[in-house]
Structure 1
């Protein structure tokens, strides 16, 4: 297992990750990219702890996702199944598990301070931290995706299912976008990844 992890994680994080996987008896599955989530955790009926993480060529996103999911397992085991999935117990557990990884041997200088800041009060998804999400994106392979917050108002864009939208307004923290086929408006999180179309 440790040899496999070197393909997905920052090199100096592998021994600690392998220890967490072993100690918590995690059955880790690396799966094809899912649009709605980077990873998930579930406890099977036979008691096995199954964690899936999206295949990613970005080792830093992979690491944060893996520790996020292990934190669910550890928090549920420690505090019981009735806790909120991203409540205070999970946040505390995620912080505690992540602190040993916030080191210059693991994260490059451009990410290190942003990761440290994020983990003062971690969110349900690193994607909701716009600054961190944008910094992480720099380590993704080249693609034609943009975040909704980056594109100009009035621009049209396509999402993963082929639907085409026009960005029209900002509503508090989310962007109001018009679906061109139906004429309905939808709200997008700032860090939704979309394909910008030429206008």
Structure 2
């Protein structure tokens, strides 16, 4: 297990993650990329704990995702299965489990203040924290043709992962109104949504 973790995690996080995995009897499975999620936690019918994490994540996002999913397991075990998946108990557990990792030996210095801010009140996905998400994406393997919604000029046409086309419109408080070209329906996009620019 240690050799596997060394491929996917920051070097100084491997030992701590190995302890968390052993302590909580986690079956970790590294899976092909899923567009809608970075990872998930399930309790199997035999009582075993299964956590999956996408293979495509950079090492910093992999670490955050792994600890996020272990926090689900720990929170359910400690507080019971009736708690909200991303409620107060999970947030406290995630903060507690993440604390030993938020240090310069594990994360790049420029990400630390963003992480500290995020973990004051962690969200269901680090992707909803646009500043942290954009900072983490700097460590992704660069794909040609990928842009963020916030980078596109007003009125641009772009394509999302499922092939649908949208036109970028006005910014609301945090998100952008975008009109689906085929239907005329208005959708709200996070500024850090990755898209393919078709026409400016």
Report the TM range for the smaller structure's normalisation.
Answer: over 0.9
Cα distance between partner residues in 1 of 2:174 and 2:82: 30
Residue 76 of structure 1 aligns with which residue? 76
Quote the RMSD (CA, aligned, Å): 1.2
* 1:139 and 2:146 aligned: no
> What are the residue-to-residue correspondences of 1:153-168 with 2, within 5 Å?
153-168=154-169
Residues 147-196 of structure 1 show CA distances to partners (whole Å, capped at 9, x for unaligned) of: 22232221111001111110112234332211112222222223221112
Secondary structure of the residue that 1:21 maps to in structure 2?
Answer: helix
Cα distance between partner residues in 2 of 1:117 and 1:184: 34
Greater alpha carbon shift after TM alignment, 189-198 vs 77-86: 189-198
Cα distance between partner residues in 1 of 2:114 and 2:186: 33
- Segments of 5+ residues of structure 1 without an aligned counterpart are none
Residues 114-172 of structure 1 show CA distances to partners (whole Å, capped at 9, x for unaligned) of: 11221121111111111111110111111132222232221111001111110112234
Residue 116 of structure 1 aligns with which residue? 116
Aligned residues: 199
- Contact 1:30-1:54 at 8 Å conserved across structures: yes
Q: Report the TM-score, using the length of structure 1 for normalisation.
A: 0.95
* 1:38 and 2:38 aligned: yes
Secondary structure of the residue that 2:110 maps to in structure 1?
Answer: helix
Residue 88 of structure 1 aligns with which residue? 88
- Contact 2:130-2:190 at 8 Å conserved across structures: no
- Segments of 5+ residues of structure 2 without an aligned counterpart are none
- Contact 1:8-1:56 at 8 Å conserved across structures: no
Q: Report the TM-score, using the length of structure 2 for normalisation.
A: 0.95
> What are the residue-to-residue correspondences of 1:163-174 with 2, within 5 Å?
163-174=164-175
Residue 62 of structure 1 aligns with which residue? 62
Residues 76-117 of structure 1 show CA distances to partners (whole Å, capped at 9, x for unaligned) of: 000000101111100000000000001111001111221122
Which runs of at least 4 in structure 1 moved beyond 6 Å after TM superposition?
none
> What are the residue-to-residue correspondences of 1:8-23 with 2, within 5 Å?
8-23=8-23
Cα distance between partner residues in 2 of 1:69 and 1:57: 14
- Contact 1:174-1:190 at 8 Å conserved across structures: yes
